[in-house]
Amino acid sequence: MSSTNQLTVAHSPHQFGDDSVQKIMYRVLFALVPAFAVSLVFFGLGALIVTGVAVVSCLAFEYLIARFIIKTKPTLWDGSAAVTGVLLAFNVPSNLPVWMIIIGSLVAIGIAKMSFGGLGKNPFNPALAGRVFLLVSFPAQMTSWPVVGTRMNYLDATTGATPLGIIKEGVQNGQPVSELLAEIPEYSQMLLGNMSGSLGEISALALLLGGLFLLWKKVITWHIPVSIIGTVLLFTGILWGINPEKYADPLFHLLPGGIMLGALFMATDMVTSPMTSVGQIIFGVGIGLITVLIRVFGAYPEGVSFAILIMNAFVPLINKYVKPKRFGEVVKHG
Within 5-24, the residues that bind other proteins by CB under 8 A are: 5-17, 19-21, 23-24
Between 100 and 129, how does the x/- string for binding to other proteins read (CB under 8 A)? -----------------xxxxx--------
In the bound state with other proteins, the residue whose beta carbon lies nearer, of 62 and 302, is: 62
**Could you tell me the smallest distance in angstroms from the CB atom of residue 84 to other proteins?**
13
- What residues contact residue 39 under an 8 Å CB cut-off, 6+ apart? 47, 90, 94, 193, 199, 200, 202, 203
Q: Is 327 left (phi over 0), alpha (psi -120 to 50) or beta?
A: beta
Instruction: Report the C-alpha gap between 276 and 32 in whole angstroms.
Output: 25
Considering the complex, state which of residue 11 and residue 71 has its C-beta at the smaller distance from other proteins.
Answer: 11
Binding to other proteins by residue 1, rule CB under 8 A?
yes
Q: Could you tell me the CA-to-CA distances from 47 to 27, 108, 135, 189, 304 in Å, in that order?
A: 21, 19, 18, 19, 21
Within positions 205 to 234, which residues make up the interface with other proteins, using CB under 8 A? Answer: none
Among 68, 173, 299, 325, binds other proteins (CB under 8 A): 325
Can you tell me which of 29, 41, 49, 78 binds other proteins, judged by CB under 8 A? 78
How is residue 115 annotated by DSSP?
G
CA distance 230 to 143: 27
Return the number of the residue (113 or 131) whose C-beta is nearest other proteins. 113
Give me the least distance between CB of 286 and other proteins, in Å please: 18
Amino acid code (one letter) for 59: L
Residue 297 lies near other proteins (rule: CB under 8 A): no
The pair phi, psi for residue 310, each rounded to 5°, is -65, -45
Smallest CA-to-CA distance from 244 within 163, 195, 181 is with 181
- Should residue 324 be labelled a site residue for other proteins when binding is judged by CB under 8 A? yes
CA distance 283 to 308: 9
- CB-nearer residue toward other proteins: 1 or 136: 1
Chain residues in the site for other proteins (CB under 8 A): 1, 3, 5-17, 19-21, 23-24, 75, 78, 80, 117-121, 270-273, 275-276, 323-330, 334
